[in-house]
Structure 1
Amino acid sequence: MTLTGAASEDVLFIGLDNFVSFFADPSFMTVILNTLIFLVLSAIIGQQALGLLIALLMNKRDKNFRRLIGTLVLIGWVTPEIVVAFTFFAFFSDQGTMNAMLAAVHLEPLKWLYQYPMTSVVIANIWHGTAFSMLVFQAALSGVPQELEEAAMIDGATVWQRLWRIIMPIIKGSIMTNMVLVSLQTLGVFTLIYALTGGGPGVKTETLPIFMYHQAFVNFQLGYGTAISLILLLIGMLISIAYIRLLKVKI
Protein backbone atom coordinates (compact mmCIF):
# COMPACT_ATOMS: atom_id res chain seq x y z
CA MET A 1 0.00 0.00 0.00
CA THR A 2 2.97 2.34 0.55
CA LEU A 3 3.63 2.14 -3.19
CA THR A 4 0.08 2.93 -4.35
CA GLY A 5 -1.74 6.17 -5.08
CA ALA A 6 -2.71 8.87 -2.64
CA ALA A 7 -6.42 8.14 -2.30
CA SER A 8 -8.00 4.94 -1.01
CA GLU A 9 -10.19 4.54 -4.12
CA ASP A 10 -7.33 5.23 -6.53
CA VAL A 11 -5.10 2.15 -6.36
CA LEU A 12 -2.21 2.93 -8.68
CA PHE A 13 1.42 1.89 -8.45
CA ILE A 14 3.50 5.04 -7.97
CA GLY A 15 6.82 3.66 -6.72
CA LEU A 16 8.46 5.72 -4.00
CA ASP A 17 6.40 8.87 -4.61
CA ASN A 18 4.70 8.63 -1.21
CA PHE A 19 8.06 8.73 0.56
CA VAL A 20 9.24 11.60 -1.64
CA SER A 21 6.01 13.46 -0.89
CA PHE A 22 6.54 13.06 2.84
CA PHE A 23 10.05 14.52 2.81
CA ALA A 24 8.83 17.36 0.56
CA ASP A 25 5.74 18.02 2.69
CA PRO A 26 5.69 21.55 4.21
CA SER A 27 4.77 19.95 7.56
CA PHE A 28 7.73 17.55 7.47
CA MET A 29 10.15 19.53 9.65
CA THR A 30 7.44 20.57 12.10
CA VAL A 31 6.22 17.00 12.58
CA ILE A 32 9.75 15.61 12.98
CA LEU A 33 10.68 18.37 15.44
CA ASN A 34 7.49 17.81 17.46
CA THR A 35 8.22 14.08 17.58
CA LEU A 36 11.80 14.63 18.76
CA ILE A 37 10.76 17.18 21.40
CA PHE A 38 8.06 14.87 22.72
CA LEU A 39 10.46 11.90 22.70
CA VAL A 40 13.34 13.66 24.46
CA LEU A 41 11.29 15.53 27.08
CA SER A 42 8.82 12.75 27.80
CA ALA A 43 10.94 9.59 27.59
CA ILE A 44 14.65 10.32 27.86
CA ILE A 45 14.48 13.20 30.35
CA GLY A 46 11.09 12.69 31.97
CA GLN A 47 10.33 9.00 32.47
CA GLN A 48 13.97 7.90 32.58
CA ALA A 49 15.18 10.51 35.09
CA LEU A 50 12.06 10.52 37.25
CA GLY A 51 11.86 6.73 37.33
CA LEU A 52 15.50 6.51 38.44
CA LEU A 53 15.00 9.21 41.07
CA ILE A 54 11.96 7.46 42.56
CA ALA A 55 13.75 4.10 42.55
CA LEU A 56 16.75 5.64 44.35
CA LEU A 57 14.51 7.30 46.93
CA MET A 58 12.71 4.01 47.56
CA ASN A 59 15.91 1.97 47.71
CA LYS A 60 16.55 0.48 51.15
CA ARG A 61 13.54 2.25 52.67
CA ASP A 62 11.04 0.47 54.88
CA LYS A 63 8.45 -1.75 53.26
CA ASN A 64 5.44 0.48 54.00
CA PHE A 65 7.11 3.52 52.41
CA ARG A 66 7.99 1.55 49.26
CA ARG A 67 4.49 0.17 49.04
CA LEU A 68 2.88 3.62 49.36
CA ILE A 69 5.08 5.36 46.79
CA GLY A 70 5.01 2.38 44.44
CA THR A 71 1.21 2.27 44.51
CA LEU A 72 0.91 6.00 43.80
CA VAL A 73 3.26 5.76 40.82
CA LEU A 74 1.75 2.54 39.47
CA ILE A 75 -1.72 4.10 39.34
CA GLY A 76 -0.59 6.16 36.36
CA TRP A 77 0.76 3.12 34.55
CA VAL A 78 -2.26 0.86 34.96
CA THR A 79 -4.73 3.61 34.05
CA PRO A 80 -5.83 3.29 30.38
CA GLU A 81 -4.28 5.91 28.11
CA ILE A 82 -7.63 7.37 27.10
CA VAL A 83 -8.55 7.85 30.77
CA VAL A 84 -5.21 9.56 31.40
CA ALA A 85 -5.89 11.87 28.46
CA PHE A 86 -9.32 12.94 29.70
CA THR A 87 -8.01 13.30 33.25
CA PHE A 88 -5.31 15.71 32.14
CA PHE A 89 -7.75 17.45 29.80
CA ALA A 90 -9.85 18.23 32.85
CA PHE A 91 -6.72 19.16 34.82
CA PHE A 92 -5.44 21.64 32.20
CA SER A 93 -8.78 22.98 30.92
CA ASP A 94 -9.75 26.62 31.43
CA GLN A 95 -11.92 25.71 34.42
CA GLY A 96 -9.68 22.85 35.52
CA THR A 97 -7.67 21.99 38.58
CA MET A 98 -4.49 23.74 37.46
CA ASN A 99 -6.17 27.10 37.01
CA ALA A 100 -8.04 26.63 40.29
CA MET A 101 -4.68 26.19 42.02
CA LEU A 102 -3.36 29.34 40.33
CA ALA A 103 -6.45 31.28 41.39
CA ALA A 104 -5.97 30.09 44.97
CA VAL A 105 -2.60 31.89 45.08
CA HIS A 106 -4.00 34.93 43.21
CA LEU A 107 -2.32 34.20 39.86
CA GLU A 108 -3.87 34.66 36.44
CA PRO A 109 -5.31 31.50 34.86
CA LEU A 110 -3.71 30.19 31.68
CA LYS A 111 -5.02 28.42 28.60
CA TRP A 112 -2.69 25.47 29.09
CA LEU A 113 -3.84 23.39 26.13
CA TYR A 114 -3.59 26.41 23.84
CA GLN A 115 -0.52 28.23 25.18
CA TYR A 116 1.51 25.22 26.37
CA PRO A 117 0.12 22.19 24.49
CA MET A 118 3.43 20.31 24.21
CA THR A 119 4.14 20.81 27.91
CA SER A 120 0.69 19.44 28.73
CA VAL A 121 1.05 16.24 26.68
CA VAL A 122 4.62 15.69 27.94
CA ILE A 123 3.51 15.93 31.58
CA ALA A 124 0.60 13.57 30.93
CA ASN A 125 2.82 10.98 29.26
CA ILE A 126 5.47 11.22 31.99
CA TRP A 127 2.83 10.55 34.64
CA HIS A 128 1.45 7.65 32.62
CA GLY A 129 4.76 5.93 31.87
CA THR A 130 7.17 6.62 34.74
CA ALA A 131 6.16 3.52 36.70
CA PHE A 132 7.75 1.23 34.11
CA SER A 133 11.13 2.96 34.48
CA MET A 134 10.78 2.87 38.25
CA LEU A 135 10.26 -0.91 38.23
CA VAL A 136 13.22 -1.47 35.89
CA PHE A 137 15.54 0.59 38.09
CA GLN A 138 14.25 -0.99 41.30
CA ALA A 139 15.21 -4.39 39.92
CA ALA A 140 18.61 -3.05 38.83
CA LEU A 141 19.34 -1.45 42.21
CA SER A 142 18.53 -4.69 44.00
CA GLY A 143 21.50 -6.21 42.15
CA VAL A 144 24.02 -3.69 43.47
CA PRO A 145 26.24 -5.52 46.02
CA GLN A 146 25.66 -4.04 49.46
CA GLU A 147 29.28 -4.84 50.40
CA LEU A 148 30.56 -2.33 47.85
CA GLU A 149 28.43 0.48 49.25
CA GLU A 150 29.38 -0.38 52.83
CA ALA A 151 33.08 -0.42 51.93
CA ALA A 152 32.72 2.96 50.20
CA MET A 153 30.97 4.41 53.26
CA ILE A 154 33.79 3.18 55.50
CA ASP A 155 36.28 4.86 53.15
CA GLY A 156 34.37 8.13 53.56
CA ALA A 157 32.61 8.27 50.19
CA THR A 158 29.70 10.71 50.01
CA VAL A 159 26.24 9.84 48.71
CA TRP A 160 27.04 11.39 45.32
CA GLN A 161 30.35 9.56 45.09
CA ARG A 162 28.66 6.23 45.82
CA LEU A 163 26.01 7.01 43.23
CA TRP A 164 28.39 7.97 40.41
CA ARG A 165 31.30 5.65 41.20
CA ILE A 166 29.45 2.48 42.26
CA ILE A 167 25.73 2.44 41.52
CA MET A 168 25.58 4.06 38.07
CA PRO A 169 28.34 1.92 36.48
CA ILE A 170 26.63 -1.24 37.74
CA ILE A 171 23.14 -0.36 36.49
CA LYS A 172 24.17 1.32 33.21
CA GLY A 173 23.02 -1.72 31.24
CA SER A 174 19.53 -1.38 32.72
CA ILE A 175 19.59 2.36 32.02
CA MET A 176 20.28 1.80 28.34
CA THR A 177 17.75 -1.02 28.03
CA ASN A 178 15.07 1.07 29.70
CA MET A 179 15.89 4.00 27.45
CA VAL A 180 15.28 1.84 24.38
CA LEU A 181 11.95 0.58 25.68
CA VAL A 182 10.53 3.92 26.84
CA SER A 183 11.75 5.64 23.67
CA LEU A 184 9.98 3.13 21.43
CA GLN A 185 6.82 3.31 23.52
CA THR A 186 6.82 7.11 23.46
CA LEU A 187 7.54 7.22 19.73
CA GLY A 188 4.27 5.41 19.08
CA VAL A 189 2.03 7.37 21.48
CA PHE A 190 -1.20 8.26 19.68
CA THR A 191 -4.27 8.02 21.91
CA LEU A 192 -2.96 10.31 24.64
CA ILE A 193 -2.03 13.16 22.28
CA TYR A 194 -5.05 12.78 20.02
CA ALA A 195 -7.55 12.81 22.89
CA LEU A 196 -5.78 15.64 24.73
CA THR A 197 -5.00 18.08 21.90
CA GLY A 198 -5.79 16.37 18.60
CA GLY A 199 -2.33 17.38 17.44
CA GLY A 200 -3.17 21.06 17.89
CA PRO A 201 -3.62 23.84 18.30
CA GLY A 202 -2.62 24.01 14.66
CA VAL A 203 0.23 21.52 14.42
CA LYS A 204 1.94 22.31 17.72
CA THR A 205 1.60 18.75 19.04
CA GLU A 206 1.32 16.88 15.73
CA THR A 207 3.79 14.03 16.04
CA LEU A 208 4.37 11.31 13.43
CA PRO A 209 1.54 9.00 14.64
CA ILE A 210 -0.93 11.92 14.64
CA PHE A 211 0.24 13.10 11.20
CA MET A 212 -0.06 9.55 9.88
CA TYR A 213 -3.65 9.29 11.17
CA HIS A 214 -4.65 12.63 9.66
CA GLN A 215 -3.28 11.70 6.25
CA ALA A 216 -4.71 8.17 6.18
CA PHE A 217 -8.12 8.58 7.85
CA VAL A 218 -8.95 12.28 7.62
CA ASN A 219 -7.55 13.08 4.17
CA PHE A 220 -8.16 9.46 3.02
CA GLN A 221 -4.63 9.14 1.60
CA LEU A 222 -4.12 5.58 2.74
CA GLY A 223 -0.99 4.97 0.68
CA TYR A 224 0.62 8.14 2.03
CA GLY A 225 -0.39 7.29 5.60
CA THR A 226 1.00 3.78 5.26
CA ALA A 227 4.29 5.18 3.96
CA ILE A 228 4.51 7.42 7.04
CA SER A 229 3.85 4.42 9.30
CA LEU A 230 6.72 2.57 7.62
CA ILE A 231 8.99 5.58 8.18
CA LEU A 232 7.95 5.55 11.85
CA LEU A 233 8.87 1.86 12.03
CA LEU A 234 12.27 2.55 10.46
CA ILE A 235 12.94 5.35 12.96
CA GLY A 236 12.16 2.94 15.79
CA MET A 237 14.55 0.38 14.30
CA LEU A 238 17.30 2.99 13.99
CA ILE A 239 16.82 4.03 17.62
CA SER A 240 17.05 0.39 18.72
CA ILE A 241 20.20 -0.26 16.66
CA ALA A 242 21.87 2.91 17.96
CA TYR A 243 21.13 2.03 21.59
CA ILE A 244 22.25 -1.58 21.14
CA ARG A 245 25.55 -0.50 19.60
CA LEU A 246 26.08 2.04 22.37
CA LEU A 247 25.24 -0.61 24.95
CA LYS A 248 27.87 -2.97 23.51
CA VAL A 249 30.47 -0.22 23.70
CA LYS A 250 29.63 0.75 27.28
CA ILE A 251 29.47 -2.72 28.81
Structure 2
Amino acid sequence: MLPSWVLLLVFFFVPILLTFYFAFTNLSLTGAASASTQFVGFRNFASMFADPTFRVSVLKTLVFLIFSAIVGQQLLGLILAVLMNERNRTFRSVIGVLVLAGWVTPEIVVAFIFFAFFSDTGTLDSILQWFHVKPIAWLYTFPMVAVVIANIWHGTAFSMLVYQAALGDVPKEILESAMMDGAGRFQRLWRVTLPVIRGSIATNMVLITLQTLGLFTLIFSLTGGGPGNKTETLPIYMYQQAFADYQLGYGTAISLILLLIGIIASIVYIRTLKVEL
Protein backbone atom coordinates (compact mmCIF):
# COMPACT_ATOMS: atom_id res chain seq x y z
CA MET A 1 0.00 0.00 0.00
CA LEU A 2 2.96 2.34 0.52
CA PRO A 3 3.42 3.31 -3.19
CA SER A 4 -0.29 4.11 -3.46
CA TRP A 5 -0.19 6.30 -0.37
CA VAL A 6 2.89 8.11 -1.65
CA LEU A 7 1.16 8.83 -4.97
CA LEU A 8 -1.96 10.06 -3.18
CA LEU A 9 0.14 12.26 -0.91
CA VAL A 10 2.17 13.83 -3.72
CA PHE A 11 -0.53 14.25 -6.38
CA PHE A 12 -3.69 14.66 -4.27
CA PHE A 13 -3.26 15.76 -0.67
CA VAL A 14 -0.33 18.14 -1.19
CA PRO A 15 -2.06 20.03 -4.08
CA ILE A 16 -5.21 20.35 -1.95
CA LEU A 17 -3.25 21.82 0.95
CA LEU A 18 -1.37 24.17 -1.37
CA THR A 19 -4.66 25.30 -2.91
CA PHE A 20 -6.03 26.27 0.49
CA TYR A 21 -2.79 28.05 1.36
CA PHE A 22 -2.50 29.98 -1.92
CA ALA A 23 -6.11 31.18 -1.61
CA PHE A 24 -5.03 33.27 1.39
CA THR A 25 -1.94 34.77 -0.27
CA ASN A 26 -1.21 37.41 -2.90
CA LEU A 27 0.54 34.89 -5.16
CA SER A 28 1.03 36.37 -8.62
CA LEU A 29 2.87 35.56 -11.85
CA THR A 30 4.21 39.12 -12.24
CA GLY A 31 5.18 42.05 -10.06
CA ALA A 32 6.50 42.13 -6.52
CA ALA A 33 4.08 39.45 -5.34
CA SER A 34 5.66 36.92 -7.70
CA ALA A 35 9.03 37.35 -5.98
CA SER A 36 7.74 37.62 -2.41
CA THR A 37 4.38 35.96 -1.75
CA GLN A 38 2.67 37.15 1.43
CA PHE A 39 -0.20 35.87 3.54
CA VAL A 40 -3.13 38.30 3.14
CA GLY A 41 -5.85 36.51 5.10
CA PHE A 42 -9.36 36.94 3.73
CA ARG A 43 -8.48 39.87 1.45
CA ASN A 44 -8.98 37.82 -1.71
CA PHE A 45 -12.44 36.73 -0.58
CA ALA A 46 -13.39 40.27 0.47
CA SER A 47 -12.37 41.59 -2.97
CA MET A 48 -14.20 38.75 -4.63
CA PHE A 49 -17.54 39.33 -2.92
CA ALA A 50 -17.25 43.06 -3.58
CA ASP A 51 -16.72 42.46 -7.29
CA PRO A 52 -20.02 42.63 -9.26
CA THR A 53 -18.46 40.49 -11.99
CA PHE A 54 -18.04 37.67 -9.48
CA ARG A 55 -21.71 37.84 -8.49
CA VAL A 56 -22.74 37.73 -12.14
CA SER A 57 -20.45 34.72 -12.68
CA VAL A 58 -22.05 32.87 -9.76
CA LEU A 59 -25.51 33.53 -11.23
CA LYS A 60 -24.40 32.37 -14.69
CA THR A 61 -22.85 29.26 -13.17
CA LEU A 62 -26.08 28.34 -11.37
CA VAL A 63 -28.17 28.95 -14.50
CA PHE A 64 -25.81 26.84 -16.58
CA LEU A 65 -25.79 24.09 -13.92
CA ILE A 66 -29.57 23.92 -13.48
CA PHE A 67 -30.53 23.91 -17.14
CA SER A 68 -27.68 21.91 -18.68
CA ALA A 69 -27.06 19.34 -15.94
CA ILE A 70 -29.91 19.01 -13.44
CA VAL A 71 -32.74 19.55 -15.93
CA GLY A 72 -31.10 18.73 -19.26
CA GLN A 73 -28.71 15.81 -18.79
CA GLN A 74 -30.50 14.32 -15.80
CA LEU A 75 -34.01 14.38 -17.26
CA LEU A 76 -33.07 13.52 -20.85
CA GLY A 77 -30.76 10.73 -19.68
CA LEU A 78 -33.56 9.21 -17.60
CA ILE A 79 -36.07 9.47 -20.45
CA LEU A 80 -33.67 7.80 -22.89
CA ALA A 81 -32.89 5.04 -20.40
CA VAL A 82 -36.59 4.33 -19.76
CA LEU A 83 -37.44 4.30 -23.47
CA MET A 84 -34.49 2.08 -24.35
CA ASN A 85 -35.26 -0.29 -21.48
CA GLU A 86 -38.55 -1.18 -23.16
CA ARG A 87 -37.13 -1.76 -26.65
CA ASN A 88 -35.35 -4.64 -28.34
CA ARG A 89 -31.59 -5.08 -28.33
CA THR A 90 -31.05 -3.75 -31.87
CA PHE A 91 -32.86 -0.49 -31.10
CA ARG A 92 -30.90 -0.04 -27.86
CA SER A 93 -27.61 -0.65 -29.66
CA VAL A 94 -28.30 1.89 -32.43
CA ILE A 95 -29.57 4.65 -30.12
CA GLY A 96 -26.86 3.90 -27.58
CA VAL A 97 -24.11 4.36 -30.17
CA LEU A 98 -25.63 7.64 -31.39
CA VAL A 99 -25.89 9.07 -27.87
CA LEU A 100 -22.46 7.81 -26.81
CA ALA A 101 -20.90 9.47 -29.86
CA GLY A 102 -21.53 12.86 -28.25
CA TRP A 103 -20.05 11.75 -24.93
CA VAL A 104 -16.77 10.41 -26.32
CA THR A 105 -16.24 13.46 -28.55
CA PRO A 106 -13.62 15.80 -27.01
CA GLU A 107 -14.96 19.09 -25.68
CA ILE A 108 -12.94 21.17 -28.12
CA VAL A 109 -14.46 19.24 -31.03
CA VAL A 110 -17.95 19.64 -29.56
CA ALA A 111 -17.33 23.39 -29.35
CA PHE A 112 -16.39 23.59 -33.04
CA ILE A 113 -19.40 21.44 -33.99
CA PHE A 114 -21.82 23.76 -32.23
CA PHE A 115 -19.99 26.85 -33.41
CA ALA A 116 -20.67 25.65 -36.96
CA PHE A 117 -24.25 24.85 -35.98
CA PHE A 118 -25.05 28.19 -34.27
CA SER A 119 -22.91 30.59 -36.35
CA ASP A 120 -24.51 33.28 -38.52
CA THR A 121 -24.14 31.17 -41.66
CA GLY A 122 -24.34 27.86 -39.83
CA THR A 123 -26.56 24.82 -40.06
CA LEU A 124 -29.37 26.11 -37.83
CA ASP A 125 -29.83 29.38 -39.74
CA SER A 126 -29.65 27.51 -43.06
CA ILE A 127 -32.52 25.28 -41.91
CA LEU A 128 -34.53 28.28 -40.66
CA GLN A 129 -34.15 30.00 -44.03
CA TRP A 130 -36.10 27.14 -45.58
CA PHE A 131 -39.05 28.37 -43.51
CA HIS A 132 -38.34 32.02 -44.48
CA VAL A 133 -37.01 32.89 -41.01
CA LYS A 134 -34.34 35.58 -40.91
CA PRO A 135 -30.87 34.45 -39.73
CA ILE A 136 -30.21 34.90 -36.02
CA ALA A 137 -26.80 35.48 -34.44
CA TRP A 138 -27.35 32.74 -31.88
CA LEU A 139 -23.94 32.97 -30.22
CA TYR A 140 -24.45 36.71 -29.74
CA THR A 141 -28.18 36.90 -29.02
CA PHE A 142 -28.67 33.63 -27.09
CA PRO A 143 -25.17 32.53 -26.02
CA MET A 144 -26.26 30.79 -22.80
CA VAL A 145 -28.85 28.76 -24.69
CA ALA A 146 -26.12 27.68 -27.11
CA VAL A 147 -23.69 26.48 -24.42
CA VAL A 148 -26.49 24.77 -22.47
CA ILE A 149 -27.60 22.80 -25.54
CA ALA A 150 -23.99 21.91 -26.38
CA ASN A 151 -23.35 20.60 -22.87
CA ILE A 152 -26.58 18.60 -22.85
CA TRP A 153 -25.64 16.98 -26.17
CA HIS A 154 -22.16 16.23 -24.88
CA GLY A 155 -22.98 14.86 -21.43
CA THR A 156 -26.39 13.17 -21.59
CA ALA A 157 -24.91 9.76 -22.42
CA PHE A 158 -23.36 9.48 -18.96
CA SER A 159 -26.73 9.91 -17.23
CA MET A 160 -28.29 7.48 -19.68
CA LEU A 161 -25.71 4.80 -18.84
CA VAL A 162 -26.17 5.31 -15.09
CA TYR A 163 -29.94 4.97 -15.35
CA GLN A 164 -29.76 2.00 -17.69
CA ALA A 165 -27.71 0.15 -15.10
CA ALA A 166 -30.06 1.26 -12.29
CA LEU A 167 -33.21 0.23 -14.16
CA GLY A 168 -31.75 -3.22 -14.68
CA ASP A 169 -31.55 -3.66 -10.90
CA VAL A 170 -35.23 -2.85 -10.26
CA PRO A 171 -36.92 -6.14 -9.21
CA LYS A 172 -39.37 -7.24 -11.90
CA GLU A 173 -41.61 -8.75 -9.22
CA ILE A 174 -42.35 -5.30 -7.80
CA LEU A 175 -43.20 -3.89 -11.23
CA GLU A 176 -45.43 -6.87 -12.02
CA SER A 177 -47.24 -6.48 -8.69
CA ALA A 178 -47.84 -2.80 -9.38
CA MET A 179 -49.15 -3.65 -12.84
CA MET A 180 -51.56 -6.22 -11.40
CA ASP A 181 -52.79 -3.59 -8.94
CA GLY A 182 -53.73 -1.38 -11.89
CA ALA A 183 -50.79 1.02 -11.91
CA GLY A 184 -50.16 2.59 -15.32
CA ARG A 185 -46.75 3.09 -16.92
CA PHE A 186 -46.22 6.56 -15.44
CA GLN A 187 -47.44 5.47 -12.00
CA ARG A 188 -45.00 2.53 -12.01
CA LEU A 189 -42.19 4.86 -12.96
CA TRP A 190 -43.07 7.55 -10.39
CA ARG A 191 -44.13 5.39 -7.44
CA VAL A 192 -42.00 2.27 -7.90
CA THR A 193 -38.99 2.73 -10.16
CA LEU A 194 -37.78 6.18 -9.09
CA PRO A 195 -37.93 5.44 -5.32
CA VAL A 196 -35.98 2.21 -5.88
CA ILE A 197 -33.22 3.92 -7.90
CA ARG A 198 -32.99 7.12 -5.83
CA GLY A 199 -29.46 6.15 -4.79
CA SER A 200 -28.40 6.15 -8.44
CA ILE A 201 -30.26 9.44 -8.99
CA ALA A 202 -28.34 11.09 -6.15
CA THR A 203 -25.01 9.67 -7.34
CA ASN A 204 -25.62 10.81 -10.91
CA MET A 205 -26.69 14.30 -9.82
CA VAL A 206 -23.55 14.71 -7.71
CA LEU A 207 -21.26 13.53 -10.51
CA ILE A 208 -22.77 15.63 -13.30
CA THR A 209 -22.97 18.66 -10.98
CA LEU A 210 -19.26 18.48 -10.17
CA GLN A 211 -18.42 17.88 -13.83
CA THR A 212 -20.56 20.81 -14.98
CA LEU A 213 -19.26 23.19 -12.32
CA GLY A 214 -15.72 22.59 -13.57
CA LEU A 215 -16.56 22.82 -17.27
CA PHE A 216 -14.16 25.17 -19.02
CA THR A 217 -13.04 24.04 -22.48
CA LEU A 218 -16.49 23.84 -24.06
CA ILE A 219 -17.63 27.32 -22.96
CA PHE A 220 -14.28 29.01 -23.52
CA SER A 221 -13.92 27.56 -27.02
CA LEU A 222 -17.51 28.28 -28.02
CA THR A 223 -18.06 31.79 -26.62
CA GLY A 224 -14.97 32.74 -24.62
CA GLY A 225 -17.34 33.69 -21.79
CA GLY A 226 -18.96 36.36 -23.94
CA PRO A 227 -20.35 38.30 -25.49
CA GLY A 228 -19.51 40.58 -22.58
CA ASN A 229 -19.95 38.26 -19.61
CA LYS A 230 -23.16 36.54 -20.69
CA THR A 231 -21.57 33.07 -20.45
CA GLU A 232 -18.79 33.86 -17.98
CA THR A 233 -19.21 31.05 -15.47
CA LEU A 234 -16.92 30.73 -12.46
CA PRO A 235 -14.28 28.59 -14.26
CA ILE A 236 -14.02 31.26 -17.00
CA TYR A 237 -13.86 34.04 -14.40
CA MET A 238 -11.23 32.09 -12.47
CA TYR A 239 -9.15 31.64 -15.62
CA GLN A 240 -9.34 35.35 -16.41
CA GLN A 241 -8.17 36.33 -12.94
CA ALA A 242 -5.48 33.68 -12.54
CA PHE A 243 -3.94 33.43 -16.02
CA ALA A 244 -5.02 36.57 -17.89
CA ASP A 245 -4.53 38.99 -14.97
CA TYR A 246 -1.83 36.77 -13.36
CA GLN A 247 -3.45 36.85 -9.90
CA LEU A 248 -3.00 33.20 -8.93
CA GLY A 249 -3.93 33.70 -5.28
CA TYR A 250 -7.18 35.40 -6.23
CA GLY A 251 -7.93 32.71 -8.82
CA THR A 252 -7.29 29.97 -6.26
CA ALA A 253 -9.73 31.63 -3.86
CA ILE A 254 -12.37 31.49 -6.60
CA SER A 255 -11.72 27.76 -6.99
CA LEU A 256 -12.56 27.25 -3.31
CA ILE A 257 -15.91 28.98 -3.82
CA LEU A 258 -16.53 26.65 -6.76
CA LEU A 259 -15.69 23.70 -4.52
CA LEU A 260 -18.03 25.01 -1.81
CA ILE A 261 -20.92 25.25 -4.29
CA GLY A 262 -20.32 21.63 -5.32
CA ILE A 263 -20.29 20.46 -1.70
CA ILE A 264 -23.49 22.33 -0.84
CA ALA A 265 -25.25 21.00 -3.95
CA SER A 266 -24.17 17.42 -3.13
CA ILE A 267 -25.48 17.70 0.45
CA VAL A 268 -28.79 19.09 -0.82
CA TYR A 269 -29.17 16.18 -3.28
CA ILE A 270 -28.45 13.56 -0.63
CA ARG A 271 -30.72 15.15 1.96
CA THR A 272 -33.56 15.72 -0.51
CA LEU A 273 -33.49 12.16 -1.86
CA LYS A 274 -32.91 10.74 1.65
CA VAL A 275 -29.99 8.59 0.57
CA GLU A 276 -27.97 6.84 3.26
CA LEU A 277 -24.21 7.10 2.92
TM-score bracket, shorter-length normalisation? over 0.9
User: Which residue of 1 is the match for residue 210 of structure 2?
Assistant: 184
For residues 246 and 152 of structure 1, do their structure 2 counterparts lie closer, same or farther at Cα, with a shift above 3 Å needed? closer
**1:103 is aligned to 2:129:** yes
User: Which residue of 1 is the match for residue 197 of structure 2?
Assistant: 171
SS of aligned partner of 1:27 = helix
1:39-66 deviations in Å (ceiling 9; x for gaps): 0001100000000000010013110000
**1:30 is aligned to 2:51:** no
1:73-118 deviations in Å (ceiling 9; x for gaps): 0001000011101110111001110101101111111000000000
1:176-222 deviations in Å (ceiling 9; x for gaps): 11111111110100000000000000000000000000011111111
Q: Share of identical aligned residues, percent?
A: 64
Unaligned runs of 5+ in 1: none
**1:5 is aligned to 2:26:** yes
User: Which residue of 1 is the match for residue 262 of structure 2?
Assistant: 236
**Contact 2:74/2:205 (8 A) holds in 1:** yes
**Contact 1:103/1:109 (8 A) holds in 2:** yes
Q: Cα RMSD (Å) of the superposition? A: 1.6
**Contact 1:77/1:132 (8 A) holds in 2:** yes
- d(CA) in 1 for partners of 2:201, 2:53: 34
**1:202 is aligned to 2:228:** yes
Aligned length: 251
Correspondences of 1:13-52 after superposition (within 5 Å): 13-52=39-78
**Contact 1:8/1:223 (8 A) holds in 2:** no
**Contact 1:176/1:247 (8 A) holds in 2:** yes
**1:83 is aligned to 2:109:** yes
- d(CA) in 2 for partners of 1:124, 1:232: 22
**1:126 is aligned to 2:147:** no
- d(CA) in 2 for partners of 1:219, 1:72: 41
Q: CA deviation at 1:158?
A: 1.4
User: Which residue of 1 is the match for residue 142 of structure 2?
Assistant: 116
Select which of 237, 250, 268 maps to 1:211.
Answer: 237
Unaligned runs of 5+ in 2: 1-21
**Contact 2:238/2:255 (8 A) holds in 1:** yes
- d(CA) in 1 for partners of 2:132, 2:85: 39
SS of aligned partner of 1:108 = coil
- d(CA) in 2 for partners of 1:40, 1:227: 23
Q: CA deviation at 1:249?
A: 5.6
TM-score (structure 2 length as normaliser): 0.87
**Contact 1:5/1:14 (8 A) holds in 2:** yes
